[in-house]
Amino acid sequence: MAAVDIIIGSVYGSSVLVAETLEQALTEAGHRVQLHEDAVLADLDADHFWLVITSTTGQGDLPPNLLPLFEEMRECCPPMPQLRYALVALGDSSYDNFCGGGRQFDELLQELQAQAVVERLQLDATETLDPEEPALAWLKGWMTQI
């Protein structure tokens, strides 16, 4: 069983609810899971599996609680080819830059040579009032690869 770090970017709490739902499923499957709502690199381990769950705010921006980690990684992180991850982006397609925050974080991880085990999940607030449901179905589709 794996150690999983769930890294959350949220303004109003939707991403936190998604994270808690996925945490429960991963824990029931026997994984050791830790939630990070104000992550800094020193709290994280690149040998763990990273599950990043973030909304978008402003005009395609990352939430303030995830921005410090993003900037720390962009400024000083060496390549992380051993890191395996998956990413959920919450957004709203009525905004110009749909899921821009999640996309930025995903692109940074790819630049750092981290390995996505599955394509980024994008959840549109105009289509689903309950993002936990599609997120859980998505997780169940690839969870055995952790």
Ligand X SMILES: Cc1cc2nc3c(=O)[nH]c(=O)nc-3n(C[C@H](O)[C@H](O)[C@H](O)COP(=O)(O)O)c2cc1C
Contacts with ligand X by CB under 6 A lie at: 10-15, 55-60, 63, 90-92, 95, 97-100, 125
Q: Which is nearer to ligand X, 83 or 88 (CB)?
A: 88
Provide the minimum distance between the beta carbon of 113 and ligand X in the complex, in angstroms, as a whole number. 26
SS3 content of the chain, % helix, strand, coil (to 5): 35, 25, 40
Provide the minimum distance between the beta carbon of 82 and ligand X in the complex, in angstroms, as a whole number. 29
| Strand, coil or helix: 80 | coil
Whether 117 and 86 have beta carbons less than 8 Å apart is answered as yes
Q: Which is nearer to ligand X, 52 or 63 (CB)?
A: 63
Q: Which of 36, 35, 25, 54 is nearest to 122 (CA)?
A: 54
Q: Which residue is nearest to ligand X (CB)?
A: 91
Give kind and range of the element (H or E) at residue 117. Answer: none
Q: Which is nearer to ligand X, 33 or 99 (CB)?
A: 99
Provide the minimum distance between the beta carbon of 13 and ligand X in the complex, in angstroms, as a whole number. 5
